[in-house]
């Protein structure tokens, strides 16, 4: 199935959780935040939240700013 992550399409298998996806991208969950369809998914639900076809994700982190 296909999901959109940070504006780009990605193919993932059925039954992929947010935690699985972060592992795939080699991202440390402590320094980022994730939205699925514009809803924040806090760290404590990453394992239990399974992604669906067509989900739109934002994965953000901290960068320099004023």
Partner 1 sequence: MGPSISSNLSVHDLDKNAVETETIQSAAADQLTIGDHVLGSRLILGTGKYDSFEVMQASHKSAETQCVTIAVRRERLHDSSGRNILDFVDTSRLILLPNTAGCYDAETAIRCARMGREILTGLENPGADWVKLEVLGDSRSLLPDPIELLKATEALVKEKFQVLCYSSDDPIIARRLKDAGAASVMPAGSPIGSGLGVLNSNSLSIILDDLKRGDPDYPVIIDAGVGTASDVAEAMELGFDGVLLNTAVAAAKDPVAMAQAMALGVKAGRLAFQAGRIPKSRYGSASSPEVGVISKKPQR
Contacting positions for partner 1 (CB under 8 A): 5-8, 25-27, 29-33, 35, 38, 40, 42-43, 58-66
Kindly state the smallest distance separating residue 53's Cβ from partner 1, in Å. Answer: 19
Structure token digits, residue 8 = 């780009």
Looking up tokens 């298998």, which residue turns up? 13
52 in Cβ contact with 1 (< 8 Å): yes
Kindly state the smallest distance separating residue 46's Cβ from partner 1, in Å. Answer: 11
Residue 15 or 65 having the CB closest to partner 1: 65
């Amino acid at each position: 199935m296909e999901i959109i992550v940070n504006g780009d399409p990605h193919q993932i298998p059925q039954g992929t959780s947010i935690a699985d996806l972060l592992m795939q991208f080699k991202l440390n969950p402590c320094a980022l935040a994730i939205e699925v369809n514009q809803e924040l998914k806090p760290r404590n639900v990453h394992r239990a939240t399974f992604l669906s076809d067509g989900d739109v994700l934002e994965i953000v982190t901290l960068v320099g700013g004023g």
